[in-house]
Chain A
């Protein structure tokens, strides 16, 4: 007896061929003539990269103004009502802290002050700095959560400061315990922070006591911000609402996210960089569309007789339009994939070089939409010759 084994090969082939489904002219052409479409794909990818890296750099830069806010443990911030950005602080009314403390849900309040000051380094380097004066007692809300508690303790002795790793050269600091002067008062570097690079100048952390010592008579002992920590289980939104009503015109109550967003948006719009960004994004859009639409248009033109033949055979015009737009969509998707890979690379290099960059999900999503916009607009712009196709012209 012969065993009945494997099915006939022919049957298998037929089944496989039937399963391949519809012929997609768009995809088959893209794959077959990939060299032709490569220019379009790279144009989309680079215009996307231009946009995403710019957003990352801008966000990175503006985030440096709010790192203190984002790293603090406070649930709510009391802010002088006319303040537009965290770094442009204004003095709060001395009554603000008492009012906040009177609220039963508030467990702890702290004051925080910012001041511009003059730094004179160990070798005489002079730098304009921003002093950040904060509560350094145990359980501090203001002291950055990103830093070890040891550094908080190092700030407790009067006359000590923390400087950032990124500013050491600028400040002329080589060793911990180097001496320096701020506004003519002697201070000692007690430790080095990381992640608090400032756009201009440098950020220097001090305790409230040291701050008063440095400012001397200039200090009116009024804070710029009051930080509030709520008792566990409190509804932050409800307390925020109640404190706002109590505050009236004395102060605004903001969550850390609100304060950070407001500050970043302020810089984006007020500094002119936002307009610059918009300008170069539009430029990227134009360059991307110019190259991509020309590539697609050339591809349409080279297949015009074939498209016209399909028209003659009764294939409706919208179906042919869909072929070009499908091609554009694939180019957009593939272009964005290249953008994403290149961004990982560029951001990686930037981070290892200590450049402040920040990539957010909405920036990535926005860039993906931008890439699709570039390719779809290009697809629409390349439809012209196709729409003018007259199958009767094949008969000349």
Chain B
């Protein structure tokens, strides 16, 4: 049985319609997304869940401008994303998108502060402004005191919070997270989940998260299930357990 969430009247900040995508390996072509329609709203955290191989990560990649779909359209912030030339899509991501991945993907040679400053430098911010933003973002994830540490000196949870700080420092309108908690223990996982939820609510950002981690469900405002490349349910989570939103509101 498919339960449909009451579709909000707002068109959404991130819209996928009729998105299809196949992968070819040798002579075998596998259809990963079979015509997905999804409207994601700003100011809330939307979670896509599904078993592995269900196409959830592919959907995230298509909706975030990382992977070109075979068919269908993606409208992000009113822009028909895949109609743009590649460098315009790069620029769109640079200006509007933050990413958090399962692996923390931090450069071993850079301190926590520098990890955050590095992508900001390409947005045209002066180095002074970039450093101020980085300090702010690290404070927001509770790592003000660890700004000068290298990844080697940080715990897994701290590394993922640096990665979150790197993603949110440019104050993106769209924040994408792929399995952001699966490499973390219970407490750190919950911290990061609360952080993502708080960013959506405090900044009005559109947070789209993909995971098979059931612990994340309690933190999401909306949970979309996908199976075999088709959405099977779309539920609004009324009782979001988000007692301690860390310190994110500082980021404004």
B61 and A392 contacting across the interface, CB-CB below 8 Å: yes
**Residues 309-342 of chain A: 1 if any B CB is under 8 Å from the residue's CB, otherwise 0?**
1111111110100000000000000000000000
Given contacts A314-B94, A391-B66, contact A23 B178 (CB under 8 A): no
A395 touches B (CB below 8 Å) = yes
Q: Which residue of A lies closest to B62 (CB)?
A: A392
Are A305 and B131 within 8 A (Cβ)?
A: no
Quick check: B107 and A17 within 8 Å, CB to CB? no
Q: Please tell me if the beta carbons of B105 and A309 are within 8 angstroms of each other in the complex.
A: yes
B109/A395 in contact, CB under 8 A: no
B66 to chain A, nearest CB (A): 4
Judge whether B194 is part of the interface by a CB distance below 8 angstroms.
Answer: no
Determine whether the beta carbon of B122 is less than 8 Å from that of A314: yes
Nearest to B114 among chain A residues (CB) is A23
Contact across chains for B101 and A28 when beta carbons are under 8 A apart: no
Residue of B60, B64, B103, B105 with most partner-chain A CB within 10 A: B105
1/0 per residue, CB under 8 A from B, across A17-48: the answer is 11011110100110111000000000000000
The contact of A309 among B64, B67, B99, by CB within 8 Å, is B99
Q: With A18-B131, A22-B121 known to touch, is A312 a contact of B109 (CB < 8 Å)? A: no
Size of the A side of the interface (Cβ < 8 Å), in residues, is 32
Q: In the docked arrangement, what's the CA distance between A392 and B21, Å?
A: 13
Contact (Cβ within 8 A) B108 A313 = no
Is B214 part of the contact surface with A, judged by Cβ < 8 Å?
Answer: no
Question: Which residue on B lies nearest to A28, using beta carbons?
Answer: B109
B105 touches A395 (CB 8 A): no
Closest A residue to B118 by beta carbon equals: A23
- Could you say which residues of chain A place their CB within 8 Å of the CB of B118? 23, 25, 310
The answer to whether A242 has its CB under 8 Å from any CB of chain B is no
The residues of A that contact B61 with a CB separation of less than 8 Å are 392, 395
Residues of A within 8 A of B57 (CB): 395-396
Decide if A308 is an interface residue (CB 8 Å cutoff). Answer: yes
Interface residues on B, range: 35 or more
- The answer to whether B166 touches A313 (Cβ under 8 A) is yes
Known: A314-B122, A392-B61. A18 touches B128 (CB 8 A): yes
Which chain A residue lies CB-closest to B152?
A32
B89 CB to closest chain A CB (Å) equals: 9
- Nearest B residue (CB) for A22: B127
Shortest B48–chain A CB gap in Å is 12
The answer for the CA separation of A316 and B90 in the assembled complex, in Å, is: 6
Identify B94's interface contact among A303, A309, A315, CB under 8 A: A315
Interface residue from B58, B99, B110 paired with A312 (Cβ < 8 Å): B99
Please tell me if B95 contacts chain A, counting CB pairs below 8 Å: yes
Interface set, chain B 99-137, CB cutoff 8 A to A: 99, 101, 103, 105-110, 114, 117-119, 121-122, 127-128, 131
Q: Name B68's closest neighbour in chain A (CB-CB).
A: A392
Would you give 10 A-B contacts (Cβ < 8 Å), ordered by A? Answer: A23-B117, A303-B107, A306-B105, A309-B101, A312-B101, A313-B119, A314-B95, A392-B61, A394-B103, A394-B105
- The chain A residues found within 8 Å of chain B, CB to CB, are 17-18, 20-23, 25, 28-29, 31-33, 303, 305-306, 308-317, 319, 390-392, 394-396
